């Protein structure tokens, strides 16, 4: 709930070092802009802005908190685990920390995508930087 009311890093940036991606949910109205700063294979900073529901907003905030400081590979591993959790597969609970709050979300099929929305955007950026 705090991550919804006062999400981390909710602001836009014009700085050149940040890579930008928009991620939106075709079946609903969530629409997020993500700004990611990667230096020497590490995620230095992420900020975001946009219109999104409580689940998407809080999920973005927790994702930002947990991904800053990670290498690209570590971040990809983290995202893979988060995705596995949403899909009810085996995952590393310790790695996900606060993000395990969404482990019951599969029960509300229509909200699963809300929780994963920010990860979808970040995944694309990380894949681009890993090539």
Partner 1 sequence: MNIEDFPMLKEDLIYLDNGATTLKPQCVIDKIKEYYETYSANAHRGDYDISFKVDMEYEKSRETVRNFINAPYKENIIFTSGTTESLNMIANGFFKNIIEQNDEILITKSEHASNVLPWFRLANECGAIMKYIPLESHHYVTLENVKKAVTPNTKIIALAGITNVIGDERPIKEITKFAHENDIFVVLDGAQSVPHRKTDVQDLDVDFLAFSAHKMCGPTGVGVLYGKKELLENIDPINLGGGMNESFDNPNEIYLKELPTRLEAGTPNIAGVIGFGEAIRYLEKIGMENIENYEKKLRKYAIDKLLTIPHLDIINIESDSGIIAFNVDNIFSQDVAYYLNKYKVCVRAGNHCAKILKKEVGVTNSLRVSLYFYNTESDIDALVELLENKEHIEREML
Identified binder of partner 1 from the candidate list 46, 52, 63, 126, rule CB under 8 A: 52
Residue 73 is encoded by which pair of tokens? 């590979």
Q: Closest approach of Cβ 22 to partner 1, in Å?
A: 15
- Does 26 engage in binding with partner 1 (CB under 8 A)? no
Identified binder of partner 1 from the candidate list 17, 41, 44, 51, rule CB under 8 A: 51
Number of helices and strands in the chain (H, E): 5, 3
In the complex with partner 1, which residue's Cβ is closer, 94 or 104? 104
Element (H, E) at 50: strand 42-51
Q: Which 3 state secondary structure label does DSSP give 130?
A: helix
Among residues 70, 64, 107, 66, the alpha carbon closest in space to that of 85 is found at 107
CB neighbour burial string for 89-99, b if at least 16 within 10 angstroms, e if fewer: eebeeebbeeb
Among residues 3, 31, 1, 33, the alpha carbon closest in space to that of 122 is found at 33
In the complex with partner 1, which residue's Cβ is closer, 33 or 77? 33
- Binding-site residue total for partner 1 (CB under 8 A)? 14
Q: Mask: binding to partner 1, 57-96, rule CB under 8 A, as x and -?
A: x---------------------------------------
- Does 111 engage in binding with partner 1 (CB under 8 A)? yes
In the complex with partner 1, which residue's Cβ is closer, 113 or 123? 113
Where do contacts with partner 1 occur on this chain (CB under 8 A)? 1, 4, 28-30, 51-55, 57, 108, 110-111
């Amino acid at each position: 709930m705090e991550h919804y009311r006062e999400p981390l890093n909710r602001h836009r940036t014009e700085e050149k070092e940040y890579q930008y991606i928009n991620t939106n949910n075709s079946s609903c109205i969530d629409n997020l802009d993500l700004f990611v700063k990667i230096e020497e294979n590490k995620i230095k900073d992420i900020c975001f802005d946009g219109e999104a529901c409580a689940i998407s907003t809080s999920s973005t905030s927790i994702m930002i908190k947990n991904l800053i400081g990670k290498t690209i590979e570590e971040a990809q591993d983290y995202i893979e685990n988060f995705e596995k959790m949403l899909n009810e597969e085996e995952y590393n609970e310790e790695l996900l920390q606060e993000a395990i709050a969404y482990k019951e979300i599969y029960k509300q099929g229509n909200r699963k995508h809300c929780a994963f929305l920010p990860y979808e955007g970040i995944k694309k950026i990380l894949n681009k930087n890993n090539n």
